[in-house]
Amino acid sequence: MNARATNVPVPALGEPGNTFAASTPSTSPSDPERGQVRNRTRRLHYIDWLRVLAVLLLFPFHTGRVFNAGEAFYVKGADVSAAMSHVLLFISTWHMPLLFALAGASTYLALGRRTRAEYAAERVRRILVPLVFGLLVLIPPQTWFGARFNSDYRSSYPRYLVSGDFLEFNIKDGGDYYGGLGTGHLWFILFLFIISMVALPLWRGRRRANSRLVDLSRLLARPWGWLIAGLAIVIGEALPDIAGKNIFSCFVFFGLGYVAMCSEEFMDAAERNRWVALALGIAGSIWWSATGSWRDGLADPSLALFVVALAGLTAIWLVIVGLLGTGRKLLIRPSRTLAYLAESSYPVYILHQTVIVVLAFTVVRLEVPWIAQWAILLVSSVALTFLCYEGVRRAVSLRPLFGMRPRAETARRKGGSYR
C-alpha cells in the first residue's frame, strides 16, 4: 500500500447496514434480492469500533508522512526520521487492507435489508457524490501546497485553479505531491466505489445455508484456510497496479471481508484464535515490511518469491482476522462516544488530509525539534478536522457532500431504527 493513502449511521467509508441476522441463513428460495432475512437483527458494534479506530489511526499516520524519510509528500519537514519510516511502513502493510475488509463485511450486512438496486443507488449518493466533491474542492488545496513546497510554484491558489494548473498530470515522478491532477487520499473512496459496483453481481443467494459463499466462509474459518486467503491475496498482488496502487488486491480484501460474515463459524473461529492470529500476523507483518529490499532481489517469477509472498501476505490477513476476533470479544458495547465517532468517520476521512497538509505548511517552519512539530501537527489537525466536521454535520446543504444522511433520518436511526 502506498502510505498516502478509513454507532449511528455508518458512513459510506465502511458501507451501510451494520447489523447482523440473529438467525442462521435461510434455505428458502424466496425473495433472494432481500437476502431472505426477515428476522430480528442485532448491531455489530465491533465493526463500527474497528472502522472508527482505523480512521483515527490516519491522523498519526498522515502527520507522520510529513516527517518520514525516503518518501515524498505534499509538505516535508526539514528533519526526517528513519524510525518514523519503519513505523509507517509496518502500519501501511495492514491498515488499508483492514478498511477494505471492513467495507466488505459491512456490505454483507447492508445487503441483508436492501435490494442490490437500492444498494447501488446509495453507493452513488454516499460514495460517488462525495468523491467528486472532494476531487474538485478538497484535493486542489493539497496539490497547491505540494506545488509550492516541492516545485517552487509561485502563483496564488485562485490562479492555480483558474489557469488549469491543478489539472496538469504527473508534473514529476512523485505525481500530485508536486502539484497538478491527483486523487490524494480519496483514492480509497474511488477504489471502494468501483469495487462495490463490480462485486455486486457476485453476492446473489449469499444467505442460503447451502450457498457456496457460506461454504467458503466455513472453509476460511479453519487455520489452514488462512493460507487459502493468503493465496487469493498473492494472486491479487500479482496483477497490474493502477497509478501505483493495486485495485485487485483491494478487491480481494473487500471480498474476504464479505465472505467472513457469511457464516458464524468464521467469526467464532476468529474470536477463538484471535491471539494466535494477532501474534503471527504482527510478527509476519513486521518481517514483511522489513524485508522489501531483500524480496526485490529474488527472481521473478520464482518459487522462492511465491513462498515468501504467500507467507507475508497471509500474515497481513492474520492481522485482520485477529482484529476482527478481538473486536468481537471486547468491542461489543454501544456508547455515545461510538455513536458520535461512527457517524463522523466518513466526513473525517474526507477532511483529515487536507487539514494536515494546510497546517503542515506552517508547522514545519517552527523552530522546534521535528518530534515536537509532529506532536503539534497531530493535535492541531485532530482539533481542526473535528471542528470542520461539526460545521459539516450542522449544515443541511453540506451533509450530502460528505456522505452523510439527512439529519431527520439520522435522528430516527439514533432512536433505534436499524438500517
Mean pLDDT of 223-249: 93
Position 138: which residue type?
Answer: L
Q: How far apart are the first and last CA of the chain?
A: 32
Residue 40 has pLDDT above 60, yes or no: no
Contacts of residue 46, defined as CB under 8 A and 6 or more positions apart, other chains included, come to 324, 327, 328, 330, 331, 332
pTM score, whole prediction: 0.88
- Whether 39 shows a pLDDT value over 60: the answer reads no
Q: Give the tens place of pLDDT for each residue, 324-335.
A: 999 999 999 999
- Phi, psi at residue 16, to the nearest 5°? -85, 175
Can you give the pLDDT at residue 31? Answer: 39
Pairing of strands 41-43, 19-21: antiparallel
Express each pLDDT in 156-185 by its tens digit: 999 999 999 999 887 666 789 999 999 999
pLDDT at 205: 54
pLDDT at residue 131 above 80? Answer: yes
Q: What pLDDT, in 10s, does the model give residues 381-392?
A: 999 999 999 999
Q: Which residue has the higher pLDDT, 350 or 244?
A: 350
For the chain, the structural domain boundaries read: 58-80+334-419
In sequence order, the β-bridge partners of residue 181 are 169
**pLDDT value at residue 409:** 59
Residue 57 C-alpha cell reads as 489511526
